Structure 1
Amino acid sequence: MTGAGTDALLEVEGLAVEFATAQGWARVVDDVSFTIGHGETLGLLGESGCGKSVTSLAVMGLLPPRSSRIAAGSIRLAGRELRGLSESQLSDVRGNLVSMIFQEPMTSLDPAFRVGEQISSVLRRHRGTSRSGARERAVELLDLVGIPDAAQRVDDYPHTFSGGMRQRVMIAIALACEPDLLIADEPTTALDVTVQKQILELLADLQDRLGMGVLFVTHDMGVISQISDRVVVMYAGQVVEQASTEEVFWHPQHPYTEGLLACLPAEHGRERLRGIPGLVPGPLDLPGGCRFHPRCHHARAGLCDVTPPGLDEVHSGHRARCLLARDLELRGIS
């Protein structure tokens, strides 16, 4: 497990994010910490509403300024503190040292501009590349991400591309300046399994070539198992488990992780999926004690509903936010 220090590319420590509501400030990300090393892929996993995307937007400095705030914590990229930078300073970092692939490429790409222009604008902004040089590099990038006939397609508009090809264009934009860190927020959502496999293989290949650190945000356990070196599991705004991918899948230490794994179909396809009852609580409706206890069939009355658990090391390099972690025998993948 990569630790905090000079070898870490990204260090997020004690991050807390709040959003303004009619009832006051609501904390949607609470005391989140993790690191990513050079060339490492960290999977950020959890159901919708767990705080994964808000965490990634906080790292990018893209939280809405008037309705949200970072209430606590530190975000360091290669040792440089990003929290507190001005918008001008952040704009020098975004798209240059750290880039992001967003969930929905059709809404992230500007329909009024050709894809080549959208790639070129990043190069001209951060590298000072000439117009002709940026266009030439845009063609190279489209070819790199597997767009056929890149020299012709560079002048096409986003609506002429399929969903998978638009996602490839988004990856080309994100990689234009060869960033140290790539944040991929649900990059395979709404893609069919064949295209999904192609995108994952593309990202893995590009990471090997460029040596990037990758923060891969998803709710898909199958994707996480394929692409991540380590996994951070989030629930209701908190990290509930953190370990290597192999440890999380084979030896989960939190009942929520066990529930997520139970949602995976077995290879023989005959066992009924168990699922997790209930819903993720909203930031204004958090239960007392452990936030997962109302949905947890291991919960003990008088303990789990009263005492908030810490994120403790259960085994070497394996942390879990569960009061019963050392007493439970949880089921991993079979």
Structure 2
Amino acid sequence: MAGASEFDPALLLSHKFPETTFSYSERDVAIYSLGVGACASDAVDADELKYVYHKDGQKYIKVLPTFAALLSLGSLTKGLDLPGLQYDPRLLLHGQQYIELYKPFSSSSHIHNKVTLAGLHDKGKAAILEIETKSYEKESGDLLCMNRTTAFLRGAGGFSKSSNPFSYSNYPANQVSSVKFPETQPFSVFEDRTQPSQALLYRLSGDYNPLHSDPMIAQVAGFSKPILHGLCTLGFAVRAIIKCICRGDPNAIKSIVGRFLLHVYPGETLFTEMWLDGLRVIYRTKVKERNRIVLSGYVDLNGLTPSL
């Protein structure tokens, strides 16, 4: 990427990201739930109807915990404001997502986001950027959730001015890369087929990156056709964990770690394997048709007894 060699990391490390706002309604919650596959195979699924409908007279629809990731979307979908660092947004890949949840989401809210740089790494042919977003309810001022988003900027590396590649992080390395999957059979497995139009539906939740909708852009990025959003795949996986282990209770989720390993094409079948380790659920999601692992990580529970 032109200009990478002239980039001064100190300039970005001292940069103050603008605070942002995010508002959502019950309609947005329902569209998101449909976007990550809720009620797709069974429109009257007893576990999932509550995410899109006032089931049994409930006053508000329920919110899936991965909805929290939408609050950090502005950093990626509107372009990263990176002083001095040039990159091609078409070549941006989502590497990891870490979410901490501090209280249940209401079905509509106004959110105030505080955004900071959590990490910057020069990988030679690419730069890795870690963005932290803390989200507060505007009315109460309560901290609602925190996201750490890792973006892989292909072509933006090579800016180190010494033989040692530049690397900065203001928090300990994420544990997701060192997760060891048990050799035993999974505690639970869940199979769910994405729809050919899944990415077109999911993008209505705010991620309009043409990589997921435009065939020409997808080819420029090296894919045969548009791919599914990584956060959509994460939504499918966590929804499977809630259904299979949390007795359908979305508030059982305390934190979520997801590492995006490979792309998914809309229409492929996702097969999520889950292992219990105390109050931690270790999981990995495969594409059945290609027998490839596309997502891995773990989910920590809130102390509620998992479904045995």
TM-score by length of 1: 0.23
Greater share of residues in helix:
1
Higher strand share: 2
